[in-house]
Amino acid sequence: MKLNQVAVQFYTLRDFCKTAPAFAESCRKVRSIGFKAIQVSAIGPIPEEEIVRICAGEGLTICATHESGERILNSPHEIVERLRKLNCKYTAYPFPTNVDLADLDAVRKLARQLDASGAVLRQAGQVLTYHNHALEAWMAAHRAGWHLEVQTRPEGTKGFTPLEQRWVVERTNAWNGRPRRNSKD
């Protein structure tokens, strides 16, 4: 994979990004390595306008954010506004906290909340994604009473095809699959 096809998840650099000058220095170093995009997560507090100014000054694109689950579920309009300020289309939902993943009703409630929040972002032209390996580890350890299901496109369809029931992660998979040449050769 080429360096221009990946982004740095700033969560891994969070201890070096607590102030605007420290974030700017981290961005400078990330860009000097050759990265052109970042995922904004766990930095600051730094105003969005300052984050954008610093990234633009270093030639970095903000390709995604990672927001708190509580904020995504309870204040999706705030997430929409933050993404607009960051000129960013994608945000990721973290591992579900305060949810008993062994309780099917609790999981269904979470899915309904995520659907509602995802609809708010979708209406704004933004995408709610999911990224956290802790859920898969939890599921393996606890043998949850539910499972993730990956659905394929119905035979013979092209373009966007709505499925009857889904929690939208296909956009993330499509975005990650942009450099198809590397995976198809």
Does the pLDDT value for residue 103 go beyond 50?
yes
Is residue 119 in a domain? Answer: yes
Tell me the pLDDT band of 102, cut-offs 50, 70 and 90: confident
Average pLDDT estimate for 22-31: 95
CA distances from 37 to 25, 33, 60, 137, 174 (A): 15, 12, 5, 28, 17
Flag whether the pTM goes above 0.85: no
Domain shared by 94 and 40, yes or no:
no
Give tens-digit pLDDT for 8-24.
Answer: 889 889 999 999 999 99
Q: What is the pLDDT of residue 166?
A: 47
Better-scored residue on pLDDT, 47 or 139: 47
Q: What is the pLDDT of residue 162?
A: 62
Give me the domain span that covers residue 169: 67-176
Q: At 155, list the tokens.
A: 């035979």
Domain shared by 154 and 74, yes or no:
yes
How many separate domains does the chain show? 2
Average pLDDT estimate for 99-126: 91
Domain shared by 15 and 56, yes or no:
yes
Task: Give the side-chain half-sphere CA count within 13 A for 2.
Answer: 8
Domain shared by 82 and 96, yes or no:
yes
Domain boundary among 13, 47, 65: 65
Task: Give the side-chain half-sphere CA count within 13 A for 41.
Answer: 22
Burial of 45 (0-12, 13-18, 19+ CB in 10 A): exposed
Domain shared by 26 and 75, yes or no:
no
Tell me the pLDDT band of 167, cut-offs 50, 70 and 90: very low
Strand, coil or helix: 27: helix
Q: At 25, list the tokens.
A: 């220095």
Q: At 46, list the tokens.
A: 């730094």
Does the pLDDT value for residue 132 go beyond 70?
no
Does the pLDDT value for residue 168 go beyond 50?
no
Is residue 183 in a domain? Answer: no
